[in-house]
Structure 1
Amino acid sequence: MRKHFLILFLALIVLNTINAQTRGTKVGYIDMEYILQNVPNYAEATIQLEQKAQKWKQEIEAKKIEINKTKDALTAEKPLLTKGLIEERELEIKFLENEMLDFQQKRFGANGDLIIQKSVLVKPIQDQVFTAVQDIAEAKKYDFIFDKSSDLTMLFAAKRFDISDQVLRVLNRSEKREQLTKKQLEAQQAKESKEDAIEDNPFLSERQKILDEKKAARDSILANRKLEQEKKKADFEERRQKILSDREAKKNGTVSDLSKKEDTKETNINTNKEAAKSVTDDAKQKQLDAKAKTLEDRKKTIEDRKKALEEKRIKILQERDSIKKAREEQLKLKQ
C-alpha cells in the first residue's frame, strides 16, 4: 500500500515538473518611477516638498549674500582696523560660513530633511505597489517581476512584459473602492472584471484599443469643429465691432483706436482675401442698412397715418360741438 502511495506521489511531482517546463517561465517588470509620477497623492506631496526645498534654497542664498556683504565690508574697512579687530571680523565670517554649511547639510545632505521626507512620502506608496505586484503575480502566475528603475541592470525589456499600468489600475481601484457604496462597489467590480477579461485576451484587448483610438479621433474632430465655430463667431463679432466703430468714428470725424489696430493688422495679411471679405461685409451691411431704413420708413408712415387720423377725429369732434352749440343757441332764441 505504501509503495502505491509513493509511486503516486512521485508521479505527481513529475507531472508538475513537466507542466512547469512546458508552460515556461513567466516574467514581468514594473517602472516604479512611472508609477509614482502617476499616483495623484504622490504628485501633490512632491509639489509641496519641492516648494519647501525652494524655500530652503532661498534661505541658503540669503545667508551667502549676508556673508559676501560682511566680506566686502571687511575688505573696505581693513586699512582702518587694528589686527585684533580684523581677526575678530574674520572669525565672525568663518562662523557664518560654517553655520551656512551646517544648514545646507541639514536640509540637503545624505541624511538631510529632503531625503528623509522623500522616504516618508514614498514608503506608503511603495508598500501598496509591492502588495499590488504580489496580487498580480499570484493571479496571473508570474514567476519573476523586476523593478526597472532599481539598481538591477536591464539592457532590454519588451513593452509587453511591462505591468506598471496594471499596478496603477489596482492602486486606483483600491482608492475608489473606499469611497463607494455597496451598490456602486458591485458595479465597479463588474467593470473591473470586464477590463481584466479584455486585458487577458489579446484579441479583445486589441479590439478595445482600436475602439478607444476611434473614440479619441472622433472626440478630437468634434473638439476641432467646436473651435472652428467659436473662431468664426469671434471673427464675425470682431468685424461687426469694427464696422460699428468705424461708423461712429465717421460721425464724430475721428478715427477710432480699434480701426487703427485693425488697419495695421490688415497690412500684414493677404490683401486680396481681406478685400474680398470687406466687400462681402459691406454688401451685408448695406442690406442691413436698407432693411433698417425700410422699417424706419414704414414706422414713420404708420405714425403719420395715426397722427392724421387723430387730427381728423379731433376736427370732427370740434365740428360736432360747434353744431351742437349753434342748435342750442337757436333754441334759446326761439324761446
Structure 2
Amino acid sequence: MKKCILMLVACYCPIFCQAQTTSGKTGYIDIHYIFTRLAEVKTAEAELSSLQQQYSKQLEAKAHVLQAKQQEYVTAEKTLSESMRRIAQQDILLLENNLQKFQEDAVAALQQKKALLMKPVLVKIHQAVEAVSRTEGFSLVLMQAENVLYGEAALDITLPVLTVLGVTLSDADKQQYKQPRNNLYSWLGVNERLSPIKQ
C-alpha cells in the first residue's frame, strides 16, 4: 500500500515542489506521517482493502475451477481420444488465459481506484502546504524521503500542515514526532535512535 501511495505522490510531486522566483526558505514535510494522521487515508485504505479482498476471493474461485479442470484432465487423459484431449487442453488454456486476464484487470482496477481515492487527499495536502509556505515564507517544500539523512527541525513544516488540515495532535504525539529519527539505521533494518549532537 505504501509503495502505491508513494507512486501516486510521485505523480503529483510538482504539487509539493512550488518554486517561486523570490528567494526564500526551503522546507520539507514527512508525507508518511501526514498520511498516518488523516482519516481520509484510513478510509481509503479500508475501502481498497475490502475491494482487494473481493478480487482475491474471485481469483481464488477461478483458480479452483482451473485446478479442478486440470485434475480432471490428468485423471481422464488416457481414456480420451485425441480430439477430446485437444478440446480439454483448449478448455484449460482458456481458463488459464481468463485467470491471467482477471488478475491483470484486478490490479489495474485497484490502481485506478487508489488514484481516484488519493487525488483529493493529495490536493488537500497541497493546499495546506501552500498555506503554511506562504505564512512562514517558504519558497520550496520537499517531501522528506527515506534516503535523506538530515533535515533541520526548523524547516520541517509537517506539524503546521497537519494543523491546517484540521488534525489535532496531543502534546505527547508532538513530542514523539520531534524525537530524532535516523534513516540510516532504518535503512539497515536497525531499530535505533541517535541522540542529537550537542553544540
Check whether TM > 0.5: yes
Rounded Cα–Cα distance in structure 1 between residues aligned with 2:136 and 2:58: 52
Whether contact under 8 Å (1:33, 1:149) holds in the other structure is no
Runs of 4+ in structure 1 deviating by more than 3 angstroms, as ranges, are: none
Aligned partner of 1:164 in structure 2 is 158
Question: 2:123 matched to 1:124?
Answer: no
Give the partner amino acid of 1:156: Y
Aligned partner of 1:46 in structure 2 is 45
Aligned partner of 2:84 in structure 1 is 85
| Aligned positions of 1:57-72 closer than 5 A | 57-72=56-71
Rounded Cα–Cα distance in structure 1 between residues aligned with 2:145 and 2:114: 16
Rounded Cα–Cα distance in structure 2 between residues aligned with 1:122 and 1:169: 20
CA displacement 1:274-299 (0-9 Å, x = unmatched): xxxxxxxxxxxxxxxxxxxxxxxxxx
- CA positional deviation for 1:104: 0.5
What is the RMSD computed on CA atoms of the aligned residues? 2.7
Query: Where do 5+ consecutive residues of structure 1 fail to align?
Result: 1-19, 177-208, 214-335
Aligned partner of 2:185 in structure 1 is none
Report the structure, 1 or 2, having the larger helix content.
Answer: 1
| Aligned positions of 1:19-38 closer than 5 A | 25-38=24-37
Aligned partner of 1:17 in structure 2 is none
Aligned partner of 2:143 in structure 1 is 147
Query: Where do 5+ consecutive residues of structure 2 fail to align?
Result: 1-21, 176-199
Question: 2:130 matched to 1:134?
Answer: yes
**Matched pairs, number:** 152
Whether contact under 8 Å (1:35, 1:168) holds in the other structure is yes
Which of structures 1 and 2 has the larger relative contact order (alpha carbons within 8 angstroms, sep 6+)? 2
- CA positional deviation for 1:154: 3.0
Please state whether the residue corresponding to 2:165 is helix, strand or coil. helix
Question: Are residues 159 and 92 of structure 1, via their aligned partners in 2, closer, same or farther at CA, if it must alter by over 3 Å?
Answer: farther
Normalization by structure 1: what TM-score?
A: 0.42
Whether contact under 8 Å (2:40, 2:121) holds in the other structure is no
Normalization by structure 2: what TM-score?
A: 0.68
Rounded Cα–Cα distance in structure 2 between residues aligned with 1:165 and 1:49: 27
